[in-house]
Amino acid sequence: MKTYITELACHYERYFGVSGKRLKLKKGPIEKLHPDFFILEFPPNNKHDMFCYCTLGMSADRLDDNLIELFVYSAKADETLVELLTVCASYHRNVLPLGINHTVNIGQPWLGNSKCDYGFISAAYLDGAELGLFEYDGKEIGCYWLIPITEKERDFKIEYGVEQLEQLFEDKQLNYLNPERNCMVGE
């Protein structure tokens, strides 16, 4: 019988059409994760001309309805994204469950000197249900996009709501791959 993590890896690899590189954080909150947890790194492929990092096992063995996995896009390969997703997975499993439309404090710049030090958990808008929905053992698991955002963008979401934040990003054509982008609130 195939495990949750094995099936999830197949789900991601079918979608991207290539094998992912297995990465695992060597330090930090790893002891509080599922023992088989890891991150898959996908290079640019026929689906996207960018890297994608995906969690595998963030919701393995959960008995509640908070079944999610996360992915983040990047213009370049960067193993700091393994740490980012691992910390999010640890928070989800050990502090408070994360879900769609939640924001998380990354606690440091997303990449390099980025002003984005929060993450917004969004539907897989670029990919749809083909990537965003994983079915396993009669349950639906959301594979959600972690979009790096600034604290002001997070505050905007809290004050005006998710739909207004997403509309702001659409109107101003959010460049979600640019770690050096400016905050879109107040531009």
pTM passes above 0.85? yes
- pLDDT attached to residue 61: 86
Residue 34 has pLDDT above 80, yes or no: yes
Q: Do 56 and 40 contact (CB within 8 A), yes or no?
A: yes
pLDDT-derived band of residue 161, with 50, 70 and 90 as boundaries? very high
pLDDT digits (tens, 9 = 90+) for 67-116: 999 999 999 999 999 999 999 999 999 899 999 999 999 989 999 999 99
- pLDDT attached to residue 88: 94
Q: Do 89 and 55 contact (CB within 8 A), yes or no?
A: yes
Residues facing residue 53 across a β-bridge:
41, 72
Q: Do 116 and 109 contact (CB within 8 A), yes or no?
A: yes
Q: Do 95 and 117 contact (CB within 8 A), yes or no?
A: no
